[in-house]
């Protein structure tokens, strides 16, 4: 059975790149009816925090990437790693190293300066422990031969073993390193497919040698290209919002972010829009591209809009409520919000925009745009506003079609363009010159509110005349 995992380090929020790695793992497991496990790689006690773990879990849940096992915490598995390290030590497949990080760094720099390979020289191999020195444990890489990584995405890659460094598997402070813990955990947890960023590609031959040394089965690997920023460097804070939670706050839909992230490096013919179910059905690792992709916020915005347009207004309204509340709008009424959303769906690209646009429907007194009022709430338009008001007062309710035909009729009678009546009403009702179709707006606001707002505009013009 297929078993995949996502193994983030809890040193911050869930990054866009991490989310994509998680997504590929999740999709692959779902597609193959396998399981997906979550493992928190918190061996770096200095930088790992509980808040970060919480934030990562929250973001994964929001994206809909549910896991079947875990979360496991590496910090609670230290004795397992130490036992494995001891086993390697006992079998002569690992050795103590007494060099300090500072010494190593210095030697590395020196070798680089001289134009040589910065490879560890094995000076500690087989020596007696020097007094006053703490020991790290190094894995002994075979001198000869080569190690093949048969990557599902990248193909076969061969590494000469003598190019590989004897890597540290346990630090001098007793903390096992990433490359070691990952191998032990993936083996013990029965991971069949390791899907991760290609920044780990160079670690893979070393990890394969560790699997072999430990006598464990080697999983299949799939290294997916990293996401880059506009300047073609690895996506980071410098490039703007990079956390999943930031996009959530900006009003992006999880399914849109998922759709966008998966299309960054994966394709299925010419199809751009995918529901999550479609992705599960169609996802394959074979269609993951080999080259790096640049994060393109404009396309994400477009996709978000597409997902919003296709979402039913009822669901969209539920999602909108918290955004309205942030703008001080409470108890707006379900029905009215749904109606409002109906008129705004094709206009707003994010929930944030939707809430901004929707505001005028719910506030007591619309905020009049200065320029709009100066242009349209003037003595010349006063008669039209009065006529519309009277028209509204005659009818019990507002039927958008009826009111539209009446106003069109009116424009005809006066031999003016509809625009000349529509714009003053628009300013009176919405405060600005841009809004959904004015008759739909009237329908959402309701008869009484329309009359109230038009009255306000009429009074404003009158007071201008007097003043």
Catalytic residues: 237
Residue from the set 47, 76, 83, 117 that interacts with RNA by CB under 7 A: 117
For residue 98, report the phi and psi dihedrals to the nearest 5 degrees. Answer: -105, 5
Q: Does 234 bind RNA (CB under 7 A)?
A: yes
Least separation, in Å, of the C-beta of 80 and RNA?
19
Nearer to RNA, 37 or 99 (CB): 99
Min dist. Cβ of residue 399 to RNA (A): 13
334 is an interface residue for RNA by CB under 7 A: no
310 belongs to the binding site for RNA (CB under 7 A)? no
Would you count residue 299 as binding RNA (CB under 7 A)? yes
Determine which residue in the list 92, 269, 328, 467 makes contact with RNA, applying CB under 7 A.
269
- Cα 463 to Cα 457: distance, rounded to the nearest angstrom: 10
For the CB of residue 420, give the shortest distance to RNA in the complex, in Å. Answer: 9
Q: Does position 136 bind RNA by CB under 7 A?
A: yes
Pick one of 159, 180, 360, 361: the residue that binds RNA (CB under 7 A).
Answer: 159
The nearest distance, CB 122 to RNA, in angstroms, is: 13
132 contributes a contact to RNA by CB under 7 A: no
Contact between 232 and RNA by CB under 7 A: the answer reads: yes
Q: Of 87, 108, 248, 464, which lies in the binding site for RNA, with binding defined by CB under 7 A?
A: 108
Tokens linked to 400: 């958008």
Tell me how far, at minimum, the Cβ of 467 lies from RNA, in Å. Answer: 28
Residue of the chain from 52, 94, 201, 450 that contacts RNA (CB under 7 A): 201
Q: Can residue 371 be called a binding residue for RNA (CB under 7 A)?
A: no
> CB within 8 A of 347, min separation 6: which ones?
353, 357, 436
| Interface with RNA, residue 336, by CB under 7 A | no
- The binder of RNA chosen from 267, 315, 371, 405 (CB under 7 A): 267
Query: Any contact of residue 293 with RNA (CB under 7 A)?
Result: yes
339-359 burial: b if 16+ Cβ within 10 Å, else e: bbbbbbbebbbbbbbbbebbb
By CB under 7 A, the count of residues binding RNA is: 73
Select the residue interacting with RNA from 5, 84, 154, 193 (CB under 7 A): 154
Q: Which of 1, 46, 92, 115 is close enough to bind RNA by CB under 7 A?
A: 115
Residue 37 or 183 with smaller CB distance to RNA: 183
Task: Find the shortest distance in angstroms from Cβ 95 to RNA.
Answer: 13
Q: Judged by CB under 7 A, which of 2, 78, 89, 157 binds RNA?
A: 157
Q: Is 100 in the site for RNA (CB under 7 A)?
A: yes
Site residues for RNA, 163-192, by CB under 7 A, read: 163, 165, 167-168, 171-172, 177
Q: How far is the CB of 211 from RNA (least distance, A)?
A: 17
Residue 403 Cβ, how far from RNA at the closest point, in Å? 10
Q: Which is nearer to RNA, 200 or 456 (CB)?
A: 200
Whole-angstrom distance, CA of residue 248 vs CA of residue 65:
15
Structure-token pair, residue 306: 């597409």
Q: Give the per-residue contact string, 438-457, with RNA (x = CB under 7 A; - = no).
A: xxx-----------------
Is residue 78 at the binding interface for RNA, with CB under 7 A as the rule?
no
């Amino acid at each position: 059975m297929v078993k995949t995992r996502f193994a983030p380090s809890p040193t911050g929020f869930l990054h866009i790149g991490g989310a994509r790695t998680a997504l590929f793992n999740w999709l692959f497991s779902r597609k193959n009816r396998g399981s997906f496990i979550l493992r928190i790689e918190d061996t770096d006690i200095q930088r790992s925090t509980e808040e970060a773990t919480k934030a990562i879990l929250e973001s994964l849940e929001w994206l809909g990437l549910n896991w079947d096992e875990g979360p496991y915490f590496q910090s609670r598995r230290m004795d397992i790693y130490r036992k494995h390290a001891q086993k390697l030590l006992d079998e002569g497949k690992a050795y103590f190293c007494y060099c300090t990080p500072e010494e190593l760094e210095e030697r590395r720099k020196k070798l680089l300066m001289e134009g040589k390979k910065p490879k560890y020289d094995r000076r500690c191999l087989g020596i007696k422990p020097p007094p006053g020195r703490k020991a790290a444990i190094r894995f002994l890489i075979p001198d000869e031969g080569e190690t093949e990584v048969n990557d599902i995405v990248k193909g076969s890659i061969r590494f000469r073993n003598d190019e590989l460094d004897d890597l540290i598997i346990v630090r001098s402070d007793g903390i096992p390193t990433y490359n070691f813990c990952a191998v032990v955990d993936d083996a013990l947890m029965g991971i069949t497919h390791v899907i991760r960023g290609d920044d780990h590609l160079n670690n893979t031959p070393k990890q394969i040698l560790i699997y072999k040394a430990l006598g464990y089965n080697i999983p299949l690997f799939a290294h997916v290209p990293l996401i880059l920023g506009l300047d073609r460097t690895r996506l980071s804070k410098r490039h703007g919002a990079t956390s999943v939670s930031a996009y959530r706050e900006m009003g992006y839909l999880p399914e849109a972010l998922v759709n966008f992230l998966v299309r960054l490096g994966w394709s299925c013919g010419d199809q751009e829009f995918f529901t999550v179910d479609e992705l599960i059905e169609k996802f394959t690792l074979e269609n993951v591209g080999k080259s790096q992709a640049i994060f393109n916020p404009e396309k994400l915005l477009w996709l978000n809009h597409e997902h919003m347009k296709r979402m039913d207004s009822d669901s969209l309204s539920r999602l909108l409520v918290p955004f309205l509340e942030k703008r001080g709008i409470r108890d707006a009424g379900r029905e009215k919000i749904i109606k409002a959303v109906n008129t705004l769906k094709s206009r707003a690209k994010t929930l944030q925009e939707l809430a901004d646009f929707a505001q005028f429907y719910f506030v007591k007194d619309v905020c009049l745009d200065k320029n709009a009022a100066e242009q349209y709430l003037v003595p010349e338009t006063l008669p039209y506003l009065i006529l519309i008001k009277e028209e509204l007062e005659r009818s019990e309710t507002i039927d958008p079609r009826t009111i539209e035909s009446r106003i069109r009729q009116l424009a005809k009678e006066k031999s003016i363009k509809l625009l000349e009546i529509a714009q003053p009403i628009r300013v009176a009702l919405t405060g600005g010159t841009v809004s959904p179709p004015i008759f739909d707006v009237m329908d959402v606001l309701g008869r009484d509110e329309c009359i109230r707002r038009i009255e306000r505009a009429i009074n404003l013009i009158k007071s201008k005349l007097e003043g």
